[in-house]
Amino acid sequence: MVDLRVKIGNLDLKNPVMTASGTFGYGLEFEDFFDLNRLGGFVVKGTTLHARQGNPYPRMAETPSGMLNAVGLQNGGVKHFADNIYPKLVKFQTNILVNVSGSTVEEYVECAELINELEHIPGIELNISCPNVKEGGMTFGTSCPSAEAVVRAVRQVYNKHLMVKLSPNVTAIDEIARAVEAVGADSVSLINTLLAMAIDAEKRKPLLSTITGGLSGPAVKPVALRMVWQVAQAVKIPVVGMGGIMNAADAIEFILAGASAVQVGTAGFIDPLAPVKIVDGIEDYLKRHKIESVTDLIGSLQM
Amino acid sequence: MNKTVQNLRVLSNIQLNRDHHLLELQAPVKLEQIAPGQFVNVRVDKSQSTFLRRPFSIYDVNYEKNTISLFIKDVGPGSHVLTSTPEDEEVDVVFPLGNGFSFPKNNERVLLVGGGFGIAPLLFFAKELKKRNLTAEIHSLVGARTADDLMQLDSFSLYGQVYTTSEDGTHGVKGRVTDHPVLRDNLQDFDRVYTCGPEPMMKAVAAKAAAADVFCEVSLENMMACGFGVCLCCVTDTTSGHQCVCTDGPVFNIKDLKW
C-alpha cells in the first residue's frame, strides 16, 4: 500500500488532488460523475460579499491547447452561499475551501468573517489574482504592499487555514509569495490564469466581450511549473500547484517541483473524471517507483 | 437519466449531403429516458486547435438499440473530427445535458420552426410527441438556403403538415421562414411555437410569436466549455440575470429572455 496523504499546514488531505476554483462550481455539479469524497479537497467558485452578474457574453474563447475565460466572478454572494449551498456541502468528508474575492480590502474581510462561521469549511483561498474584474482581484496580487495589506487584514478576522492564490501576471512571483507568507498566509496556491487575448482576424474583433481574459489549460503548464518551482524555493509554507494539469504525470511534475498538493481545473471541462483519474494515476506512479509516501516526492526534483 | 461520460461506438456514419452527416452512437450502458432538446458534449481534442468538447443536440434516441443519433453539419475542425469518425470507432461523450422542450397540453396545436441543422432536436421532439400520444396537431416549417439543405422532410411529414422555405426559391416559399404565410399571417392558429436554428432566425420567430402572444420556446447554442454548469461561459441574458445555456437551457421560453 502506498500512502497518498499530505498535509497543507493544518489541513489533512487524503490525497494531494484538489479541484480548482471556478472550474468546479460548488462541487455538486460533479456528483453525477464521481464521489467527491475521493478528492483531497475542492475549492468552490469565487465568492464575493455581494452577488455579481459577471461579464457579458462572449466570455470564452478556445485557443491552442487551452482556453480564455472572462467570467468575472459571477456568483450569488456569500450570504447566498452560506444559506443555500453550504447546507448541501456539509455531508462531504473532504476539505472544502471557499475562494474569496473582493473589490476592496473591506469586502474581502467581511466575506472572510462570514465564512469563518461555517464549521465545515476548514479554509479559504484568498483570490488576489482574478484577471477579469475591473476593481480588486488581480490588482491586489500584483504588488507586494497591496498583497500584504489584504492578507494582513483578512488574517486578523480569519482563524482557519488561509491559502492565498497568486497571480502569474507579475515580474517576480516569489517576492509576492514571501510577502504574503510574512503577514500570515498558511499556504499559497498558484497559478491563476495568465492575462491573455484572442482576436478574430476575419471580423477584426476581439473574441471576448472584455477584450482580455485569463488563459488556462496545457498551454500554461510550463509557465506554471516554473513559478511553482521558484515559489517553493522562496517560502517555507506549503505550495499548492496548478496550471494545465490534465493527467497524473502533470500532477507528479508539480509535486516534484515543490507542490505539496495540486489543483485540477480546466481538465475537468474536457474530462469530468480527470480529477479522480489523477488520484489513481498518482497511486500507480508511487507503486511503479516503489515510493511509500507521496510526501517523499514533494520537491524531490533531482538536479 | 443522470449525466454520464461514456465511450460510444459509432454504429453508422451516413453522409446526407455535401456537409451534413447522421451519426448513430451506441452506448455501453442502458439508456434511460432522454428528453428532446437535451444535448451531448463530444470530445474532439485530436489536435491542439480543438481543445474543448463540442455540444450537439440529440437528434434521436433508440432505447431498443441503445443508440443516440446526432445530425451534424461539418462547420469547422471540431465537427469535422466527428463527421470523419469511421464506423466502429469510439467517441467520448458527456450526456445527457440540459433541459428539454416543455410538452404541450392535449389538443394544442404546435408549430415547429427549424433552420439548417437546427432541425435536429425538433424532429426528436415531434417523434416523442407522437409516441406519447399527445393529440396535438404538429405542423413543421423548415427553412434553408437552398433545396439541397432542406433535409429529413420525409421524417417531419410522418408527424404532420410540412412547410418549407428556401432563400434561393428552389423549394417551397422563396425567402426565410418568417416570409412563409404560416408564420407571417397564421400564427394565431397555433398554441405553441418551438424553434431551433441560427440565432437571427430564432429572434425573428420569437418576435412574431411575441407579437401574436403565442407561447414560444427557443433552443440556444452559446459557446461553452463544460456543458454542465461549472465554467459559466455560455451565459445568456435573462429576466433573472445571467443564466447558463447548458444547465438553465438550452431551451428557454422567450418570455424569460432579454431579446
A69 touches chain B (CB under 8 A): yes
Chain B residues lying within 8 Å of A273, measured CB to CB = 5
Q: In CATH, which of 3.90.1150.10, 2.102.10.10, 2.60.120.10, 3.40.50.80 is domain B109-219? A: 3.40.50.80
**Chain A partners within 8 Å of B232 (Cβ):** 22, 45, 54, 59, 71, 74
Closest chain A CA to residue B53: A270
* Cell output for B39: 444535448
Are A60 and B94 in contact (CB < 8 Å)?
no
The answer to whether A69 contacts B231, with C-beta atoms less than 8 Å apart, is yes
A153 to chain B, closest Cα gap in Å: 30
Each residue's pLDDT tens digit, A1-16: 899 999 999 999 999 9
For A197-247, the pLDDT digits (tens) are 999 999 999 999 999 999 999 999 999 999 999 999 999 999 999 999 999
Residue B53, C-alpha cell as written in the block: 468538447
Overall pTM surpassing 0.80 (yes/no): yes
Q: Please count the residue pairs, one from chain A and one from chain B, whose beta carbons lie less than 8 angstroms apart.
A: 95
For residue A120, count other CB atoms closer than 10 A to its CB: 13
- From the candidates A67, A98, A100, A130, give the one annotated as an active-site residue: A130
CB-based contact B59:B127 (threshold 8 Å): no
Q: Report chain B residues whose CB lies below 8 A from the CB of A266.
A: 225
Instruction: Reduce the DSSP state of residue A124 to 3 states and report it.
Output: strand
Interface check A42 vs B, CB under 8 A? no
Per-residue pLDDT band for A115 (boundaries 50, 70, 90) equals: very high
- Interacting residues of A45 by C-beta distance below 8 A, sequence separation 6+: A21, A22, A24, A25, A26, A75, A99, B230, B232
Contacts of A208 (CB under 8 A, 6+ apart): A58, A59, A60, A61, A68, A70, A197, A198
Alpha carbon of B144: minimum distance to chain A alpha carbons (Å):
24
Q: Which of residues 86-145 of A touch B (CB under 8 A)?
A: none
Q: What is the pLDDT of residue A135?
A: 73
**Catalytic site residue A130?**
yes
Low-confidence winner among A111-115, A138-142, A256-260, B170-174 (lowest mean pLDDT): A138-142
ipTM score assigned to the predicted complex: 0.94
Residue B134, pLDDT score? 72
Distance CA B21, CA B119 (A): 13
Q: Provide the percentage of residues in chain A whose pLDDT is more than 70.
A: 100
pLDDT grade, residue A62 (50/70/90)? very high
Q: How confident is the model over A38-54, as a mean pLDDT?
A: 97
CA B116 to chain centroid, in Å, comes to 10
Q: How far is residue B193's CA from residue B176's CA, in Å, rounded to a whole number?
A: 16
User: What grid cell was written down for A269?
Assistant: 471541462
What is the pLDDT, as a whole number, of residue A138?
A: 81
pLDDT value for B107? 86
Nearest CB to B235 within list A22, A59, A63? A59
Q: Give pLDDT, residue B91.
A: 97
Neighbours of B220 (CB within 10 A): 18
For residue B212, CA distances in Å to A61, A110, A230, B202, B220 come to 37, 50, 65, 15, 22
Contact in structure between B52 and B82 (CB atoms under 8 Å): no
Contact A58 B51 (CB under 8 A): no
pLDDT at A64: 96
Contact A25 B52 (CB under 8 A): no
What domains can you pick out in chain A, each with its CATH number?
Answer: 6-54+73-195+217-297 (3.20.20.70)
* Fold topology of B4-97: Elongation Factor Tu (Ef-tu); domain 3 (2.40.30)
How far lies A76's CA from each of A127, A137, B242, B256, in Å? 17, 17, 11, 19
Domain boundaries, chain B: 4-97, 109-219
Residue of chain B with shortest Cα separation from A216 = B51
pLDDT at B135: 66
Residue A302 contacts B where some CB pair is shorter than 8 Å: no
**Tens-digit pLDDT profile for chain B (259 aa)?**
999 999 999 999 999 999 999 999 999 989 999 999 999 999 998 888 899 999 999 999 999 999 999 999 999 999 999 999 999 999 999 999 999 999 998 889 999 999 988 999 999 999 999 988 776 799 999 999 999 999 999 999 999 999 999 999 999 999 999 999 999 999 999 999 999 999 999 999 999 999 999 999 999 999 999 999 999 999 999 999 999 999 999 999 999 999 8
The reply to whether A63 touches chain B by the CB within 8 Å rule is: yes
- Cell 437552398 locates to B146
Query: Residue B225: which of A45, A218, A269 has the nearest Cβ?
Result: A269
